[in-house]
Amino acid sequence: MKDTLRQSMAWLHTWVGLVAGWLLFFVFVTGTAGYFQQEITRWMQPERVVTVAPAEVDRTILAERAVARLIAVAPIAASWQITFPYRQPGNRDWQNFSIRWEEMPSGAHDYGASASERLDPASGAVLPLDPEPRETAGGSGLYRMHYALHYMPYDWAIRIVGVATMLMLLAIVSGVITHKKIFKDFFTFRPGKGQRSWLDAHNVVSVMALPFFLMITYSGLVFFLFAYMPVGKDVIYGTDPETSGAYYDELYEGGEHKHAPISRPVAPLASMIAQAGKAWGMDQIAWITVERMEGEVPTVELTHVPVGLGRTDAATMRFNAETGRRLPDEPSPSGVPGATQSVLFNLHEGLYADIWGRWVYFASGLLGCAMIGTGLVLWTVKRRRFHLNEDRGHQEHFGLRLVESLNVATIAGLPLAVAGFFWASRLLPVGMMDRAAWEYNSLFALWLGTLFYALGRPLRRAWIELLWAGCAAFACVPLLNALTTGRGLPASLRDGDWVFAGFDLTMLGLAGGLAFTARKVQRRLRPAAPAPAPQPVLREAQA
Amino acid sequence: MSRGKAVPAGYRWAVASRVAGAFIGGYALTSAATVLLALVWPLPKAQAVLSASMASFALYAGFVIWAFHVRRLRWIWGVVLGGTALLSAAAWMLDAGGAA
């Protein structure tokens, strides 16, 4: 299209980035928060009972207690599952000691109803549910928006995000091609040089986390594989929901299987648990499943605590429930492609990562925000020069002004809106109707407000004021927390409550980051040279 | 619209045609390629469908990149129309052969 590959790729990069940039910024901000979604939810429900490490009880005894309860409550079932107390990887919450069962399906249904109960490890008694904490959108609400957006049908949202993701993939590839001296430029930073500095900043953050961006983009597409590229499955397996399920049956169950009713395993669980405990370590046994497929022997399957990248197909040990004999491992019917897919999912979600790994993810996500933000600003900086060269310097160009306002509202406004989301979680009445919905509404109302603000204020003022407002809003979150709960920063630091302390400190860190950005922008956008004429006008506009 | 003179209408149409060819045409071409790939990939059927579908985004990206680089618009539309027809025909013959 243009003369050289680099020129045409630069063109593609510019326009693809502009079209998708604002939505991608939102996706990156909310998705990055998702790496701490459980911690955020806990912060948003300060009265929720903190799960402490449960009392250590031998897994053999726990299994006996669980089976006794299952026999009482579901003597004949399609499947039983016993979950031992274990800590989810990455310093996440404790999994409670619990049982779950699925009843035999009735009539034409494929699955029976399933139910679960929490048990007391010490006595085996059924535990009452914890008191219901306040309703909240929580960290999962924030996280869910990065693919399901809000206020719109799910099927639309994932497709809109999918288009933006595809454009991001193109922006990455064309950006790399544009940048032939990618590694040399990585060490180039020319601060205080206007457009050059924006370009260098954009290059540095983009190259720094390039593998992360590629991985997160491609795996994001694979998450909604058949929403985005349905044709292969549709042509080969048909679109009829009755028959197209065969694809999943072949891939995940190795053909069609029906549950036959099970009851208490004849063989003792104790020896199976001992075998798995010897191979993995006792506390590494996560759960036990008892089930039977039609025409086969009933089985007991022990599953390892999910670890590592292959966690969706965690290691298991299978036994014949009648004889207690160990059964050979079944190869996964999804093969290498299935393993590839689950590795992509795990890389995207980072569930395998420990606490430090999650911080690396969080930092990479913030670099993504920085990449998109600097890219969007770079577009306007270049464009403004283009218009100046055309000697249209004094004439506000509508398109340019629109992009600049949207940039301000997105890059400076969205952080403010997210801080507002946390404010809402503390300030909305605890017993309010549709409380979670109003947390979302607070975020979006505030965000819309920043757009009006950006449209109404002189550009430079809008940038600086909104960035400082975001900084103040984040800085006040720990204060608000200390005033409205007993778990403020001094208390949480003293108690070693790292979920609360970590959250509050992160808020202060974000406030610091926004202050840094505001200072940078303030200096950068300072009216160049002696410009005495527009100054009084600016001041009037402020007053 | 006062910039109509600075950027001739012909250029705008050429860009629009290229964008349509790259993104819409490219999606059609990628779809056809995905089906064919799923049919010829030497793996169990479901695994082949999964592999081909996962690879499709790379194919799509590759095509769009090419379409924005190639000089002549005619080439893009030629490859889109000819390629989609050819790949679909091949897939149709393979699928019919497999089903029989």
Give A103 to chain B, closest Cα distance, Å.
Answer: 30
CB pairs under 8 A between A and B: 101
Over 80: is that where the pLDDT of A532 sits? no
Q: Sketch the domain layout of chain B as residue ranges.
A: 2-99
Which residues, numbered 189 to 208 in chain A, qualify as contacts with chain B under a Cβ-Cβ cut-off of 8 Å? none
Categorise residue A98: left if φ over 0, alpha if ψ from -120 to 50, beta otherwise.
beta
B47 to chain A, closest Cα gap in Å: 6
| Any A CB within 8 A of B13 CB | no
Does pLDDT of B46 surpass 50? yes
Q: Which residues of A fall within a CB distance of 8 Å from B39?
A: 236
Inter-residue contact A495 to A437 (CB < 8 Å): no
At A536 the pLDDT is 37
- Which token pair is B52? 């081909």
Among A399-403, A414-418, B57-61, which stretch is predicted with the lowest mean pLDDT?
A399-403
Residue A533 has pLDDT above 50, yes or no: no
| Assigned token pair, A362 | 């969080």
- A206-243 pLDDT, tens digit per residue, is 888 999 999 999 999 999 999 999 999 999 998 887 77
Q: Please list every residue in chain B whose beta carbon sits closer than 8 Å to the beta carbon of residue A229.
A: 30-31, 34, 53, 56-57
What is the residue type of A100? R
**Winning range, highest mean pLDDT, from A123-132, A294-303, B22-31:** B22-31
Chain A CA closest to residue B73: A1
| Chain B closest-CA separation from residue A248 CA (Å) | 8
- DSSP label of A91: T
Burial class (CB in 10 A: 0-12, 13-18, 19+), A369: buried
Distance from CA of A393 to the nearest CA of B (A): 15
Closest alpha carbon to B34 in A337, A170, A234: A234
CA–CA dist A237, A249 (Å, integer): 12
Place of tokens 């590759």: B62
pLDDT of residue A326: 93
Tell which B residues from 58 to 97 touch A, by Cβ distance under 8 Å. Answer: 58, 60-61, 64-65, 68-71, 91, 95
Q: How far apart are CA B36 and CA B92, in angstroms?
A: 8
Cα end-to-end distance, chain A, whole Å: 50
Whether B31 has its CB under 8 Å from any CB of chain A: the answer is yes
Q: How far is CA A109 from CA A104, A106, A240, A262, in A?
A: 9, 6, 18, 18
**Which residues 112-151 in chain A show a CB within 8 A of chain B?**
none
Whether chain B has a CB inside 8 Å of the CB on A391: the answer is no
State pLDDT tens for residues A339-353. 899 899 999 999 888
How high is the pLDDT of residue A53?
Answer: 72
Do residue B68 and residue A232 have CB atoms under 8 angstroms apart? no
Cβ of A174 within 8 Å of Cβ of B30? The answer is no
pLDDT band at A531 (very low <50, low <70, confident <90, very high): very low
Confirm if B21 and B76 have CB atoms less than 8 A apart: yes
CB contact under 8 A, B50 and A334: yes
Q: Which residues of A touch B94 (CB under 8 A)?
A: none
pLDDT at A530: 43
**Burial call A244-254: b when 16+ CB within 10 Å, e when fewer:** bebbeebbeee
Asked if A5 lies within 8 A of B50 by C-beta distance, the reply is no
Per-residue pLDDT tens over the stretch A241-292: 777 888 988 888 755 567 888 888 999 999 999 999 999 889 889 999 999 9
User: In the predicted model, is pLDDT for residue B99 greater than 50?
Assistant: no
* Rounded Cα–Cα distance for residues A408 and A468 (Å): 12
- Beta carbons of B57 and A218 less than 8 Å apart: yes
**ipTM above threshold 0.90:** yes
Average pLDDT over residues B54-79: 96
Lowest mean pLDDT among A61-65, A129-133, A487-491, B41-45: A129-133
Residue B18, chain A, CB below 8 Å: the answer is: yes
- Cα distance from B64 to chain A (closest Cα, Å)? 8
